[in-house]
Structure 1
Amino acid sequence: MSTLTQEQRKELQQALLEQREDLQRHFESSMEDGAPAESLKDSTGELSSYDNHPADAGTETFERSRDLAIDDTLTEEFNQVNEALERMDEGRYGTCVTCGKEIPFERLQAIPYTAYCIDDTPSRDVSNDRPVEEEVMTMPPSGAGEVRQRNAGKFDHAEAWEAVEDYGTSNSPAMAAKRDVKDYDENM
């Protein structure tokens, strides 16, 4: 049983109810915009993506995945708020579900829906798991790239233009500084 005072319980209950109401408003406003679309085409409202630049599709994909991630996070928070209100009704609110110790009032003020004391809070670390592809990748052979690194920057010398000029230029006879040029070779 928690040793929260009646006033503290009321304050925390009010905070939970306000938080639940805010989350409900978020979900209601997102539903007014339409239910989450099944496909990217449906979510953008475009009849065809043929005339769009690939970067536009990339931006839309990013925006959609970000919105879905935010909704997932807020759904989890909404569930935690409802569970906290249930614990409050059952008289279990304010005690850690893992160890049974009392959760300090200050922690409950900061995170009213928490079910854990600080010591038993589940880790939210980013996974250190590596991609499965790394299991089949092999290291490059020893010495790979050494010659390229040794010769880096050596081509950039005075004759560089002459070496490139053998392949022609993008200047056409129409772009020549001289008048009446008929041939690409005269253009120079």
Structure 2
Amino acid sequence: MTEERYKKLKEILVDKKRDLEMRVDSEKSATLNNSDELSGTPNHPGDQGSEMYDRQINEGLTHHASEKMDDIKKALKAIEEGTYGQCAVCGRDIPYERLEVIPETRYCMAHAEDQKRSRERPVEEGVTTPLSQNAHSYKESLRKDTWEAVEEQGTSNTPSDYDDSTY
């Protein structure tokens, strides 16, 4: 890669970093300024839920921006060390076209999907088990047991719900 391309990519990274820093700072100050309510009781119960929802969205966006900023800092450090543009897994050169689109990437196309998938998995997966044949049969037996326990209390079936042969 030419020196001119490195300079162009470094400028892009510095601009992205500056934009993200401004966004994170403005989100943090907006969050601090939003806490000026004297009472925890809103005018309407839905207001508190809406405010909480907005706060969670903003926190998620701020977290995402912080992660992106960390990636940019790592890319800028790699430029200083002379390792920028090389895949962190296999060491091959990352195509310039990919770096133009995602200048903070540290992975070639072959390894990028693995990195993204492992970082962005839902938290719930840590406490739930994937469905397997055993889990499915276990859940099915629980469902049947539950239905049998509830059915003992009676059902809402009317005579028209049964076959004529059951009378």
Common fold by TM > 0.5? yes
4+ residue stretches of structure 1 with deviation over 6 A?
none
Partner Cα distance (2:111, 2:66) in 1: 22
Partner Cα distance (1:129, 1:104) in 2: 34
Matched letter for residue 44 of structure 2: H
Root-mean-square deviation over aligned CA pairs: 2.9
**Structure 1, unaligned runs of 5 or more:** 152-188
Partner Cα distance (1:91, 1:18) in 2: 20
**Structure 2, unaligned runs of 5 or more:** 129-134, 159-167
Identity of aligned residues (%): 28
Contact 2:9–2:100 at 8 Å: present in 1 too?
yes
TM-score (norm 1): 0.63
Match of 2:77 among 64, 67, 86: 86
Match of 1:10 among 7, 12, 37: 7
Residue 129 (1) aligns with residue 125 (2): yes
Partner Cα distance (1:118, 1:24) in 2: 28
Residue 99 (1) aligns with residue 96 (2): no
TM-score (norm 2): 0.70
What SS is found at the alignment partner of 1:141? Answer: helix
- The aligned runs of 1:55-74 (5 Å cut-off) are 55-74=46-65
More helix by share: 2
Residue 29 (1) aligns with residue 22 (2): no
Partner Cα distance (1:107, 1:117) in 2: 8
Aligned length in residues:
139
Matched letter for residue 116 of structure 2: S
